[in-house]
Amino acid sequence: MTKVKANPELHRSDRIGWLRAAVLGANDGIVSTASLIVGVTAAHSSHQDILLTGVAGLVAGAMSMASGEYVSVSSQADTEQADICRERSELASQPDLEHEELAQIYVDRGLSKILAKQVAEQLMAYDAIGSHARDELGITERMSARPLQAALTSAASFAGGAAMPLTVVVFSPMQNLIYIVFATAVLFLVLLGMLSAYVGGASLWKAAFRVGFWGWLAMAITAGIGSIFGAAA
């Protein structure tokens, strides 16, 4: 008999961790840096001051994103580990109760009580803590928190996003700088939204509109504030 080799299915859920950090970092890099540039340009700053502001925003934003992601994801990882340690203790002190608890989860998912007990028994014999972590706590290896990965991804993606409007500043004339930065930043955001949607398997145009609109709004508000302070100076 010929054995049929199963083809591994391609799922996108294992990309959620790094994709979220990368998209968030790049989006923040574009929006915050472009908004800073638009704001100081509207306040009638010099080209050198505008470029310096953008560079400072890139460095500060990348470090902020890295530290913020590391702290928040570390907190998530600590919570996950605490839950797993508690579950391991309960498995050691009351295995029968934990078996019933796992079996009830499978009953709630549609298995008969007899089959659910058999499945729970076999899974606990194979990997008790892994079974409870996955089915009771919702913690899996693919979806577990990775603080360092999230921090590095956020910092790198923020710097990459912030570099886009900065490059535009370097090569654009001062006369129409605010309009060029505004237009190109929205374009960058739309392309980023479409790319992230494509990687994640979501709607391209919905994602593009979402990031484009909020980026446009952020820059419009910042430009308005810059104009007010520039006029008052």
Q: Give a yes or no: residue 233 inside a domain.
A: no
Domain housing 198: 15-227
CA distance 12 to 197: 11
Q: Give a yes or no: residue 232 inside a domain.
A: no
Tell whether the model's pLDDT for residue 167 goes beyond 90: yes
Taking only the tens place, the pLDDT of each residue in 44-69 is 888 899 999 999 999 999 998 888 88
Q: Give a yes or no: residue 117 inside a domain.
A: yes
Q: Give a yes or no: residue 42 inside a domain.
A: yes
Which residues touch 5 (CB under 8 Å, ≥6 apart)? Answer: none
Domain count, the chain: 1
Q: Give a yes or no: residue 10 inside a domain.
A: no
Q: Give a yes or no: residue 1 inside a domain.
A: no
168 versus 208: the higher-pLDDT residue is 168
Q: Give a yes or no: residue 9 inside a domain.
A: no
Structure letter (DSSP) for residue 145: -
Taking only the tens place, the pLDDT of each residue in 189-206 is 888 888 877 776 777 888
CA distance 113 to 125: 18
Helix (H, G, I), strand (E, B) or coil at 142: coil
Q: Give a yes or no: residue 2 inside a domain.
A: no
List C-alpha distances in Å: 84 to 80, 112, 136, 138, 186. Answer: 6, 27, 10, 11, 44
In 3D, which of 170, 154, 149 has the Cα closest to residue 54? 170
Q: pLDDT value at position 142?
A: 59
Q: pLDDT value at position 55?
A: 93
